[in-house]
Amino acid sequence: MYLRSTTMANTKPVAKVIAISSLLSAMGVAIPYNAMAADTIEGALKESTVKLSLRPRYEKVDTEALATGTEASSEAFTLKTRLTYTTGSFFDVSAVLEFDDVTSLKSVDYNDGTGNGGDNPAIVDPEGTEVNQAYLSFKGLSDTDFKWGRQRILLDNQRFVGGVGWRQNEQTYDAFSVGNTSVPGLTAFYAHISNVNRIFGEQAAAGDHHQDTSLLNVGYQFDGIGKLSAYYYDIDNQDPTALGLANTTMGIRFAGAADLDAVKIDYELEYADQEETGDNPIDYSADYTLISLSGTMSGFTLGIAQETLGADDQAGKGFTTSLATLHKFQGWADVFLGTPASGVEDMYVTFKAGLPWGMAFIAMYHDFESAEDVASGSDFGSELDMALTKKFDNGATLQLKYADFSGEEDAAFAGATSDVTKVWFTATYAI
């Protein structure tokens, strides 16, 4: 199922939104009504909703290779425009059609992952207009939702399967999925994926990964304690350039919170085992572990955690999470988007504070090192991340975000041998 399309770089996003809105208006769509069951197709269309969201962002990236002192930089000012059309229900069937447009608001001189910007640091927000979601939903069975088509799939904390929503071009899946909540406290989800629509966009060779992938995730919520999840992900990546990403992962996760008088305690425990599958040319086995603990009191949170992506040192292959929302983990500088051959251990502390005027502050400090023994260069550097976010009563947000990775010249992982600094200023607004 291939629904993507691209536009010329100078296409104006507002014009595209007006054109699509006019088409929907001609169909009799009212903006907005709540989607409810309708007796006719015409009634379902009249009960449809249209939502528009805007996300302008400025991003600046600076790098310095420690061995040579070579410096490089890249900057981008982009606007993501999203239009989402959701029909009413007709005989328990509804549809979602969602368009995303990414346009550069300055000259396209940054490395967007499609060849622009040369060897400058990558800012993977390529221009283009795409069908982000297009699926049919059937809810004719009690507490069950069937979906077929291009859809968003976010499982647990998105460590293994997510949407990379941080980037302007979201990752979505061409899939059949079914979710069920008929047993109190129990959630079950299954999906079969034929294609992953990646953040690089249709213009890039890496924009699509063809799959024969099955995802199974079952969770149970224990009252007052937390949620226990078990999962089996058979990620059979069949793209000829990415066969090394094919793997089978089985794991178990427990996440919850407890109130102890004036202190709220949050905790996470997770373990997963992974091995190759499909046409992966590398025979390997690796483990994943997460231990996280935090406490919140009077609007302040302090936490400590250790996340380890292990490796098979004989095969020289690390634990892989190719469908994850990678920016969310192992530092915002995105140094470890690919796991080093010797794995990576991330020990980090987190501080959060609720501030006046609807503002929130978060800071994290990461210390990285090799998960497996190496002859030398086991220190993979450290990183400081900070973000200040302001939320407005109308739902709009402003965010200033900063990441500063300090590398090690002799690190056994080449990606950790440079210093990396990133700054973002992002606004969001939806109507």
Contacts of 262 by beta carbon, 8 Å cutoff, 6+ apart: 297, 298
- Please report the pLDDT score of residue 415 as a whole number: 95
Q: Name the residue type at position 200.
A: F
Within 8 A by CB and 6+ apart from 184, the residues are: none
Strand, coil or helix: 23: helix
Q: What is the pLDDT of residue 251?
A: 99
Residue 79, pLDDT score: 98
Residue of 334, 347, 340, 349 lying closest to 377 (CA atoms): 340
Map tokens 């400090």 to a residue: 365
Q: Are the beta carbons of 108 and 141 closer than 8 angstroms?
A: no
Instruction: Find, among 204, 144, 155, the residue nearest to 178 by Cα.
Output: 144
Does this model's pTM top 0.85? My answer is yes
Question: Which pLDDT score, from 0 to 100, does residue 204 have?
Answer: 84
Using an 8 Å Cβ cutoff, are 340 and 380 in contact?
A: yes
Contact in structure between 403 and 385 (CB atoms under 8 Å): yes
**pLDDT on residue 222:** 97
In angstroms, the Cα distances linking 330 to 226, 308, 405 are 24, 10, 11
Q: Is the dihedral of CA 301, 302, 304, 307 positive or negative?
A: positive
Q: Produce one character per residue of 35-61: b if its CB has 16 or more CB atoms within 10 Å, e if not.
A: eeebeeeebbbbbbbbeeebbbbbbbb
**pLDDT in 10s for each residue of the chain, 431 residues:** 444 444 333 444 444 444 444 443 443 444 343 334 567 888 888 889 999 999 999 999 999 999 999 999 999 999 999 999 999 999 999 999 999 999 999 866 788 877 776 778 999 999 999 999 999 999 999 999 999 999 999 999 999 999 999 999 999 999 999 999 999 999 999 999 999 999 999 888 889 999 999 999 999 999 999 999 999 999 999 999 999 999 999 999 999 999 998 999 999 999 999 999 999 999 999 999 999 999 999 999 999 999 999 999 999 999 999 999 999 999 999 999 999 999 999 999 999 999 999 999 999 999 999 999 999 999 999 999 999 999 999 999 999 999 999 999 999 999 999 999 999 999 999 98
